[in-house]
Structure 1
Amino acid sequence: MYPTRPRSALRTAVVWEVVRAALERRSAELDQPVLDVLDTGGGTGNFAVPVARLGHRVTVVDPSPDALFALERRAAEAGVTELVRAVQGDTQTLPEVVAPASVDAVLCHGVLEVVDDPAEALSHLTATLHKGGLVSLLAANRTGAVLARALAGHFEEARTVLDAPDGRWGTGDPMPRRFTGAELHALAAAAGLTVASVHGVRVFADLVPGVLVDTEPGAMEALLKLEEAVAAQPAFHAVATQLHLLAALG
C-alpha cells in the first residue's frame, strides 16, 4: 500500500517501500512489534499515518499548526489517533520536545533543504535515536535540477545550479538548498550514521509530461514500475529529483 493516492505515488512509492521494509526488519531485529518513530517536518502525515497503520507509534514535529491540525484529522480518519502525536516545533527545538535516545527511527524528508544549518539539524535528529536506530533521509538532488532546468530550456539557470554553493538557479528558485550525493553522505557520516542504501526518487516522474501520465491508459502504472526498477541503480541517481538515503546510527 502506498501512503498517498495513485498520482502522488509516483513521487512517494520508492521511499515508502524502503521505509516500510526497513521498519519491518528493525522490528524483527529488536523482537519489538511496535517501534517509536519520529517524523520531523512530517506536516499533514503523508508518511506518519501509514507508518502508524503498520502499528508503530509516531511523533510528528512540525512548525505549522495548520499542518498538525490536518495530521490529527487524517489520523482520526485512519483510526490511528492513539498512535500519532503531533508536536509543534522544528529541528532547533527538537531537544526540548523529544527525549534523547528515545526513538527507533527518524524520518527526515524535505527538511535539510530548508533549515539554516543542515549539519546541526541532522545532529539533533540523531541524538533522539537509540543505538542502531534508522534514519530515512530524503533531500533535493542538485544534479537532477541541472537536468530539469536544461530540458526546460533554461540553460543559464542549469549552469547556475551546477556551480552555486546552495544548488539554486536564482532568486526565484523556490528550493532553498540542494545537495549532491557526496554532500549527503558527508552530512550523514558527520552525524555518526552509516548509509545502508541510496535510491533515486522521481527519476522520470518530473520529466514526463503530466498529460501523458494522466490520459494514456496504463501509463501511470508503467511509469511507477519504471521508477521502482531504476531507483536503486547508481547510474540513475544523478538525474533524480531527490535522493533517499537509508542509514543507521553506529
Structure 2
Amino acid sequence: MPDEQRPQRRGAARPSAVVSAVAQLADECATRLGRPLEVLDLGGGTGGVAVPLAEAGHRVVVVDPSPDALAALARRAREAGISERVRGVQGDGDSLDAVLAGHEVDLACCHGTLEFVDDPEATLRAIAAALAPGGMLSLLVSGRLAVVFAKALAGEFAQARSALTDPSGRWGSTDPLPRRFDLEEVESLLTRTGFTTVHTRGLAILGHLVPDSLIDSDSDRAALAELDELLVAGEGREFLRTLGSGLHVIARRD
C-alpha cells in the first residue's frame, strides 16, 4: 500500500531516524563491497528512502502496487536529477523474481509493508531470494505493545485488551491496520526465512503516548527522540524497545 493510502500514524511509515539508519547501513555495505549498492525497496511508495539512497550514488528499484505513488516517485527522481538511478515498478512481493529477473541486490528495504501483505512469511522469503548471500535487510513494522499502552492510557480498555490478545494485534474491527507485530514474532519470522537479526530498535517509544497538542515543533520531536535513545541505553532497559510504535530491525541474509 502506498504512502498516501496508509493510515497516518505518528512515528510510523518512514521516520527520519529510519532514513538515517538506512543511509548509514548503505554506507557501511558500500565500503565493504567497494562499490555503490544495488537496492530493492519493496513498498517504497513515493521514494522517502529510495531518493536519498540514489542521491548517495546507489541504484534503487522501487516495487509498489500504487501507480500514483510510482508517478510521484518518478517526479521526485527527475527533480533530484537521479532518474537514471531509480526505477519504479508496479508490483508486490510475489512479482520480485520477474522484476529483478534473477539479478541479486545488496540491500533490501521493507518499511511499513508487512502489515498489509497477505502472507508476511512469503514476502520475507521473496526478499531473501532477491538478496545476495550476506545481503542486508532493513525491516520496519508496527509494534503491538505500543497501541496496547496508548489505548489503555486513553481509557479504551476493551480496545487495549483486543490489541494485546488478537493474533493480528488489532484493537477492533475498525482498526485501519490489518496487522501489528511483537518483536519476538518478527525475529522468528526472520529466522524462518533465512535471516539473522543484527540490530533492533524501537521507534517512538514515548512519542505515541504524548498528546499531539504537546508536540508542536521540531525541537519537541528531537527531545522525544533523545529520550527514546536514553531509555534503552541504560543497562537492563533494552526490553523497552519493544514498546516502540515502530520496530526497526536490521538483518543479514544467511
Q: What is the TM-score with the length of structure 1 in the denominator?
A: 0.90
C-alpha spacing 1:101/1:114, structure 2 compared with 1 (3 Å): same
Aligned to 2:180: 178
Q: How far 1:94 moved relative to its partner?
A: 1.6
Query: What's 1:46 paired with?
Result: 48
Equivalences for 1:1-250 in 2 at 5 Å? 12-32=15-35, 34-100=36-102, 102-214=104-216, 218-230=219-231, 234-250=238-254
Flag the 1:205–1:112 CA change in 2: closer, same or farther, 3 A: same
Gap change, CA 1:140 and 1:59, over 3 Å in 2: same
Q: What is the CA–CA distance in structure 1 between the aligned matches of 2:229 and 2:72, rounded to whole Å?
A: 29
Q: SS in structure 1 opposite 2:155?
A: coil
Match of 2:7 in 1: none
How far apart are residue 17 of structure 1 and its match?
Answer: 2.5
Partners of 2:132 and 2:170 lie apart in 1 by: 35
- Number of residue pairs matched? 242
Aligned position for 1:4: none
Instruction: Tell me the equivalent position of 1:3.
Output: none
Q: Which runs of 4+ in 1 moved over 3 A?
A: 7-11, 227-233
| Cα root mean square deviation, aligned | 2.0
Question: Which deviates more, 187-196 or 8-17?
Answer: 8-17
Identity %: 45
The amino acid of 2:132's aligned partner reads H
Structure 2 gaps of 5+ residues are: 1-9
> Residues 47 and 10 from structure 1, CA distance in 2 versus in 1: closer, same or farther, beyond 3 angstroms?
closer
The 3-state SS of whatever aligns with 1:218 is: helix
2:207 is matched by which residue type in structure 1?
A: A
- Deviations for 1:127-180, whole angstroms, at most 9, x for unmatched residues? 111111000011111111111111221101101111111111111000101111
